[in-house]
Structure 1
């Protein structure tokens, strides 16, 4: 991936090469890690001072909750500015930290894209001609991904919504707990 591509994802190679984890200390805490397999480094993923820390959900220690959200017979699935604002609202309602949004319109219709978060991501793929949208909402730390479901329902008025949840990284959490 080019340096420009990394910059678009919110990664600054010059800062990384200079050993700087944060450009603006008032912004989100860095989620950048170096390779270090020591017990101290592994234990660091459980600390509460990071935005991307492991969580406990339904009694299970894990990296985070990943919601697969399918909207059927939905509206406004080709409106790129509207989708962007809806993603921003999802981030806000979930209490997450937005790093970058990139959306791509397709011809003759459809949108794909991602909101990159300090706590992971929200991705979207739409098929307006079928009234279908696929959202992935993966968040860790203190973020509440389930709050995105109501935002998406209100925004796109689907006739039917299906939500599945996967708790990610359970095996890793068990190994280092």
Structure 2
């Protein structure tokens, strides 16, 4: 089977609460994770919630990385989705886990866009 991409769904526990509640630190770590994996960063958008939590996305040429944090629980939900086969999403996920000071992680990988054979699409203009 050929897959268009790989999508890591990570549950990251025991994280540093101060980091999880700091929008600027989370953005920096997420961008660094993307670059660490070899991805090309296109855009970033992050939001700090009141009183606690940060959500954000790093759009990469190869797809995206997202995070949602619960500092009061030391928990972060992370998605790392990469298309093609030259980026390993686990590199970004492992980098994030380390930088968040996590005690443990549970994660699964989903293959996205499964095809038995390469798809050929004919596009015509109207």
What TM-score does the superposition give when structure 1 sets the normalisation length? Answer: 0.63
Write out the 4+ residue segments of structure 1 that deviate beyond 4 Å after TM superposition.
none
Q: CA deviation at 1:145?
A: 0.8
Q: Whose strand proportion is higher, 1 or 2?
A: 2
- Residue 112 (structure 1) aligned to one of 47, 55, 60: 55
1:67 to 2, 5, 8: 8
Measured on the aligned residues, the alpha-carbon RMSD in Å equals 1.2
SS at match of 2:44: strand
Instruction: Find 1:152's aligned residue among 90, 93, 96.
Output: 96
Query: Given the alignment, which residue of 105, 116, 125 partners 1:174?
Result: 116
Provide structure 2 residue ranges, at least 5 long, that are not aligned to the other structure. 120-126
Larger Rg: 1
1:93 equivalent in structure 2: 36
- How far off is 1:175 after superposition? 5.0
* Count of aligned pairs between the two proteins: 116
Unaligned ranges ≥5, structure 1 = 1-59
Quick one: higher RCO (CA 8 Å, sep 6+), 1 or 2? 2
